[in-house]
């Protein structure tokens, strides 16, 4: 299974980038990050609509899509690993995660989602969410393979 993370914004050299690279390399699944960016100084619903068009266009055909959203389902790492395992076992070739911009999502992105998940009720910087997601994807693979990385 290939994992694609589509995120709004460009990540520069940073501690978050180092974490993303570390966990992506450890992961047995191929992890690809696609960045999209609306450069025009738009606000509110106009910005969300333009970002939505970029995000939706970047989704590989046939993907199972999980949107990272603060109002999504809050999963334990073991639940997340079971979900990823089930997706892989069902023959899904591409699992796509979407991380939106600071303004939030246009409704069209949420409608395309097969699932919404959350990293809790707190607000996280979008660049940190990428690193946390890569770590959780790696952790899920470790749980599924009975690797001792995860302690419960």
Q: Please report, for the chain, the start and end positions of each structural domain, with discontinuous segments joined by +.
A: 2-144
Q: Is 107 exposed, middle or buried (0-12, 13-18, 19+ CB in 10 A)?
A: exposed
**CB contact at 8 A, 138 and 27:** yes
Partners of 2 in the beta sheet?
30, 94
**Helix/strand/coil for 98:** strand
Give the CA distances from residue 80 to residues 8, 9, 48, in Å, rounded to whole numbers and listed in that order: 23, 25, 27
How does pLDDT run across 94-152, given as a tens digit for each residue? 999 999 998 899 999 999 999 999 999 888 888 899 999 999 999 999 999 998 887 77
pLDDT the model gives residue 43: 87
- Whether pLDDT at 79 is above 80: yes
Banded pLDDT at 38 (limits 50, 70, 90): confident
| Per CATH, domain 2-144 is 1.10.4190.10 | no
**Per-residue pLDDT band at 39 (split at 50, 70, 90):** confident
């Amino acid at each position: 299974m290939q994992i694609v993370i589509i995120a709004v914004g460009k990540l520069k050299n940073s501690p978050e980038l180092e974490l993303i690279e570390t966990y992506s390399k450890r992961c047995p699944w191929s992890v690809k990050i696609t960045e999209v960016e609306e450069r025009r100084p738009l606000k509110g619903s106009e910005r969300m609509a333009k970002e939505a068009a970029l995000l939706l266009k970047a989704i590989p055909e046939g993907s199972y899509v999980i949107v990272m959203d603060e109002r999504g389902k809050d999963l334990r790492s073991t639940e997340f690993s079971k979900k990823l395992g089930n997706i892989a076992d069902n023959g899904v070739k591409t699992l796509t995660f979407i991380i939106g911009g600071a303004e939030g999502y246009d409704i069209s992105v949420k409608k395309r989602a097969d699932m919404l998940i959350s990293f809790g009720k707190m607000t996280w910087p979008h660049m940190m969410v990428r690193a946390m997601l890569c770590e959780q994807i790696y952790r899920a693979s470790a749980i599924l393979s009975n690797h001792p990385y995860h302690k419960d």
